[in-house]
Amino acid sequence: MHTFDLNLEHITKVEGSAALELRVKNNKVEHVHFKITEHKRFFTEAIKGKPIAALPQLLARICGTCSNAHLLASIEACEHALGITPSEQTMLLRHLTIHGLIIRDHALHLYLFSMPDIFGKDAFLDFDENDPVEHQLLHDAFAIKKAGNELAMLVAGRSVHALHPTIGGFLHFPEKEGIAESLKKLEAIRPAVLRLVDVFKNAPFHFDRNTNFMALTTDKFRYLDGWIETSAGEKIPEEHYRDHVERIVLPYSQASAYKHNHDSYMVGSLARINLAKDRLHPRTKESLKDALALFPSTDIFHNNLAQAIEILHSIDDAMEILSTHTFTPEPIIKATPKAGVGIGVVEAPRGTLYHKVIIDDKGIVQEGEVIVPTGQNQVNIEEDIWRLTDELLAKDTPKETIAYEIEKLIRAYDPCMSCAAHFLKIDWY
Amino acid sequence: MSDPSTPSTSKIRIGWFSFSCCEDNTVIMTEVMNDHWQEWKKLFDFRHVRVLKSHNVLDELDIAFIEGAVASDTQAEKVREIRAKSKLVVAIGACAVVGMPSGQRNFFTEGQKKEIEFLVARFGALPKVLKLADVIKVDAEVGGCPIDPDKFLTAVNTLVKQFQQG
């Protein structure tokens, strides 16, 4: 019979940090608190009284990793509040911006955070350059990250807190030479992404559990528009999100958690691929038949595989957009402020991201709300840790191994504590 | 990366720490790594870089890079510990260098402060968010939100030269 009193200080190789308090008594988990403990920076309070034009760049600072997703969600919310409809070209440039983010961010997570677990290493940089497989993966990782980063720079000006996307359009437009260069680099990294998909298709970690999945989807596999689709077959319009995402206050966490229909749910790559794999780019589908046959999946570790698939999709879709369009300077669409509410919903790398803004007739922000993916996954993560630990205790697993298995599971969710938290330490009782 | 229990004598011992911020500079650092990882692998002993590795040791560092503002006593204590164990401390990014935008609550109206005071109290945050230099001596700064990759690289190369020349 195990009764643990163990303190594991920090979960590493995740975006930011948070805390987990786990109590085990007589071989049973008594409670799991996944604490999001980042000191609040009070963005939703700070926006009050600011002009709407200042909002997207300020809210991008919620998170460096997901900044361009916050930027695009906030821009959409502001445009809805102001009654602005972006041009077709603007939407294409925004799709390219998020594709750049997906490529870079998923690659960072898969290679630098998750892959060391598969190869039994402490760090990705510990991979052996004299081993042909590890040597290849080292080079693949930085080439993929770089191509994603450069796509974001080409279109949005920066991969972090991008400068070009703004309310009503873009401030700068990609030039032919840059597009040609990007197309070459994106094509060049395709084989590396196919190798990445293979690594996660064959990864030995599995944790199966039924949960609900939710994602913003449309008739194409894109991250910026559509309706909120659930695995129960619901299709919810963006503007009705608040009736379906129920806020839960966890007193031990600095962030809010959420449920849907009184139940936990999961957002992110696994949800997107489960719900919309048939809408992926045709070239991606052609290249990844075996991997895609594994979906829909209830294996949480397939979130990693789903991310690898999304990297290829983002490359293929970005290449199609870049090779079939020319981009010409367009004026920014302006609007006279009026009192209103705007909602912006995007699929950030880690899942559905909601921004809401309320402005007065002078365009001054009265209130706002931001719901991040990690907050939505929080209850699901806690429930999974609970079950995983109970299963490992039943097999008499040593507590150090349990701690490592929990870390691996948390990493598979790819939580972002900068969006929601900081300082992850595990307190065992 | 070397074994954390045995500090490398030939490599420059690096720490990378994040406090109250959005960690944009960590992302920039991993992007700069795209072109410099092979060189950095030879040059640096990454002793405490949570974004890169699990077994982190805070013992004796040559250079500690710190991003983020200081928002609680616990963070201030940690920052002082890093200072005591590091030959050089570099403030990275706007939140570390000027305390903003993480410290935006310092400039809230009385009404806004009232709205948030229960949360500040519940989680033991400082009454005022501090920039790094308010808490410890800082040897170098790379500002920006996020840092400019080229300026960061110039700062890193200058520091490396200092260490190589003894």
Closest-approach residue (CA) in chain B for A64:
B24
Residue A290 burial (10 A CB sphere; 0-12, 13-18, 19+): exposed
**Cβ contact A93:A170 at 8 Å:** yes
pLDDT of residue A403: 87
**Residue A400 binned pLDDT confidence (cut-offs 50, 70, 90):** confident
- The more confidently predicted of residues A6 and A68 is A68
> How far apart (Å, rounded) are the C-alpha atoms in residues A153 and A161?
11
- The more confidently predicted of residues A22 and B100 is B100
**Quick check: is B161 in a domain?**
no
What does the mean pLDDT of chain A come to?
Answer: 90
> How far apart (Å, rounded) are the C-alpha atoms in residues A255 and A249?
8
Residue B79 domain boundaries: 12-156
What does the mean pLDDT of chain B come to?
Answer: 91
Predicted confidence (pLDDT) per residue in A230-263, tens digit: 999 999 998 888 888 888 777 666 667 888 888 8
CA dihedral A109, A115, A118, A123 (to 10 degrees): -110
Strand partners, A365: A359
**Residue B55 binned pLDDT confidence (cut-offs 50, 70, 90):** confident
Contact A12 B54 (CB under 8 A): yes
Closest-approach residue (CA) in chain B for A68:
B24
> How far apart (Å, rounded) are the C-alpha atoms in residues A370 and A355?
5
pLDDT of residue A37: 61
**Residue A73 binned pLDDT confidence (cut-offs 50, 70, 90):** very high
Predicted confidence (pLDDT) per residue in B108-126, tens digit: 999 999 888 887 887 778 9
Residue B36 burial (10 A CB sphere; 0-12, 13-18, 19+): middle
pLDDT of residue A428: 41
Say whether pLDDT at A425 is over 60: no
| Residue at A377: amino acid letter | N
The SS3 assignment for A121 reads coil
- The more confidently predicted of residues A26 and B166 is A26
The SS3 assignment for B4 reads coil
Number of C-beta neighbours around residue A91 at 10 A: 14
Put simply, whether A250 touches B (Cβ < 8 Å) is no
- DSSP code string of A287-337: HTHHHHTT-S--BTTHHHHHHHHHHHHHHHHHHHHHHH------PPP----
Overall number of domains in chain A: 1
**Quick check: is B128 in a domain?**
yes
Put simply, whether A201 touches B (Cβ < 8 Å) is no
pLDDT of residue A151: 98
pLDDT of residue A336: 95
Give the range among A101-105, A110-114, A178-182, A235-239 with minimum mean pLDDT. A235-239
Contact B112 A48 (CB under 8 A): yes
**Quick check: is A427 in a domain?**
no
> How far apart (Å, rounded) are the C-alpha atoms in residues B104 and B107?
6
Helix axes A132-156, A302-324, angle to 10 degrees: 50
Of B45, B54, B64, B16, give the one whose Cα is nearest residue A10.
B54
| Residue at A148: amino acid letter | G
Put simply, whether A226 touches B (Cβ < 8 Å) is no
φ, ψ (nearest 5 deg) of residue A164: -85, -35
Determine the residue among A160, A163, A189, A404 to mutate to test chain B binding: the one whose Cβ has the most chain B Cβ atoms within 10 Å.
A160
Predicted confidence (pLDDT) per residue in A350-359, tens digit: 999 999 999 9
Give the range among A33-42, A134-143, A199-208, B116-125 with minimum mean pLDDT. A33-42
Contact B23 A65 (CB under 8 A): yes
**Quick check: is A398 in a domain?**
no
Say whether pLDDT at A13 is over 80: no
> How far apart (Å, rounded) are the C-alpha atoms in residues B79 and B71?
11
pLDDT of residue A206: 95
**Quick check: is A17 in a domain?**
no
**Quick check: is A418 in a domain?**
no
Residue A187 domain boundaries: 43-376
> How far apart (Å, rounded) are the C-alpha atoms in residues A312 and A299?
21
Contacts of A305 (CB under 8 A, 6+ apart): A197, A200, A201, A203, A291, A294
> Element (H or E) spanning A368, and its range?
strand A365-371
**Interfacial residues of B (vs A; Cβ cutoff 8 Å):** 1, 4, 18, 20-28, 30-31, 33-35, 37, 41, 46, 50-56, 71-72, 75, 101-102, 104-105, 108-109, 112, 115-116, 119-120, 123, 125, 145-146
> How far apart (Å, rounded) are the C-alpha atoms in residues A154 and A322?
11
Overall number of domains in chain B: 1
**Quick check: is B19 in a domain?**
yes
Residue A127 burial (10 A CB sphere; 0-12, 13-18, 19+): buried
Closest-approach residue (CA) in chain B for A135:
B38
pLDDT of residue A21: 81
pLDDT of residue A17: 65
Token digits of residue A158: 């920066």
**Quick check: is A426 in a domain?**
no
**Quick check: is A16 in a domain?**
no
- The average pLDDT across A116-126 equals 94
- CATH number of the domain at B100, please: 3.40.50.700
pLDDT of residue A404: 87
The count of CB pairs under 8 A between chains A and B is 136
How many degrees, rounded to 5, is the angle at CA A138 between CA A137 and CA A142? 110
Predicted confidence (pLDDT) per residue in B73-103, tens digit: 999 999 999 999 999 999 999 999 999 999 9
Residues of A within 8 A of B34 (CB-CB) are: 142-143, 145-146, 149
State CA B129 to chain mean position distance: 16
Predicted confidence (pLDDT) per residue in A291-342, tens digit: 999 999 999 999 999 999 999 999 999 999 999 999 999 999 999 999 999 9
- The average pLDDT across A115-129 equals 94
> How far apart (Å, rounded) are the C-alpha atoms in residues A350 and B147?
24
- CATH number of the domain at A346, please: 1.10.645.10
**Quick check: is B165 in a domain?**
no
Contact B23 A41 (CB under 8 A): no
pLDDT of residue A427: 46
> Element (H or E) spanning B90, and its range?
strand B86-92
Residue B37 C-alpha, separation from nearest chain A C-alpha, in angstroms: 8
The SS3 assignment for A255 reads coil
Contacts of A255 (CB under 8 A, 6+ apart): A36, A38, A372, A374, A375, A378, A420, A421
Residue A296 C-alpha, separation from nearest chain B C-alpha, in angstroms: 31
Residue A227 burial (10 A CB sphere; 0-12, 13-18, 19+): middle
Give the range among A35-44, A183-192, B7-16, B79-88 with minimum mean pLDDT. A35-44
**Quick check: is A89 in a domain?**
yes
